[in-house]
Amino acid sequence: MGEWRKILHVEIQALGHPDAGESLVRYVELLERWNQAYNLTAVRDPAEMVQRHILDSAVIEPFLAKGLIADVGTGAGLPGIVLAILQPELAFTLIDSNGKKTRFCRQAVAELGLENVAVEQARVEDYRPVERFATVVSRAYASLAEFVSSTRHLLVEGGTFLAMKGAYPHQELNELPAGVRLVAVHPLSVSGLNAERHLVEMELQRQE
């Protein structure tokens, strides 16, 4: 077993998911293989993928609530596929407009046997779900205002936005649109990653 595989198993066990290690290893192997042809991520080294993609996604798992979850701008399935492996009892929909990335996600879902994941190729602004989501999560958006404005139609009233950010987004928090309430900004610690990480939790307020 390669060193990065050992590290992934150890770190995922430390996060309380000892049974998820093998599926996450297979996901990294798939991502590395497809990345050579399709340029899914700028990160090439599997050890770096473990830190910057897998563990970075996994640390937000404790903040997931029950109900349907959408991962918008999922790219190569981040954080959605990682979270779906860790939380097999929750249903995830991965949304991205990029065809090669959604093809990879579908292949990964099939090879990993993830029955709790659906993949949709669509612009998030145009996507209309049959049933609205309890949570919308993303690590892809440039600004919080853009994130909530382009995804609020996906959420149930009282639903949760989870935005993965680097440094504490002071300015962005001042620019949140009406109807969205800041719940908390959670500092995150990613093992081996010497960089700031925060999870911004917001609520779509109910219409009176």
Domains, the chain, ordered by start: 3-204 (3.40.50.150)
Q: For all residues of the chain together, what is the average pLDDT?
A: 94
pLDDT band at 208 (very low <50, low <70, confident <90, very high): low
Assessment of whether the complete model's pTM goes beyond 0.85: yes
- pLDDT-wise least confident of 8-12, 164-168, 173-177, 192-196: 192-196
**Could you tell me the pLDDT band of residue 49, with boundaries at 50, 70 and 90?**
confident
Going by pLDDT thresholds of 50, 70 and 90, the confidence category of residue 206 is confident
Whether 87 has a pLDDT exceeding 80, the answer reads yes
- What does the DSSP assignment read for the chain? --HHHHHHHHHHHHTT-GGGHHHHHHHHHHHHHHHHHH---S---HHHHIIIIIIHHHTTGGGPPSS-EEEET-TTTTTHHHHHHH-TTS-EEEEES-HHHHHHHHHHHHHHT-TTEEEEES-TTT---SS-EEEEEES--S-HHHHHHHHGGGEEEEEEEEEEESS--HHHHTTPPTTEEEEEEEE---TT--S--EEEEEEEPPP-
